[in-house]
């Protein structure tokens, strides 16, 4: 099954996405392109953090 970290990261990503979409709606930047760019950036940051954690544990 999934590790707890994976589930936490997934839930955090969903929450972050909803918060960002609310903020983008307020600023009327509600385009799919902007949202997808932000999601890609967040994923890259998340994977960088995860790889650094694994390097520290090793």
What's the confidence (pLDDT) of residue 2?
58
Which residue range is the domain that position 38 belongs to?
A: 4-57
| 50 pLDDT higher than 60 | yes
Q: What is the pLDDT of residues 7-31, one digit of tens each?
A: 777 777 788 778 877 777 777 765 7
Got the DSSP string for 4-48? HHHHHHHHHHHHHHHHHHHHHHHTT---HHHHHHHHHHHHHHHHH
Number of domains in the chain: 1
% of the chain beyond a pLDDT of 70: 84
Percentage of the chain exceeding pLDDT 90:
0
């Amino acid at each position: 099954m999934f590790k707890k970290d994976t589930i936490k990261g997934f839930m955090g990503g969903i929450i972050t996405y909803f918060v960002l979409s609310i903020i983008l709606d307020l600023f009327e930047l509600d385009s799919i392109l902007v949202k997808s760019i932000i999601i890609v950036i967040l994923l890259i940051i998340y994977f960088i953090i995860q790889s650094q954690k694994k390097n520290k544990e090793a």
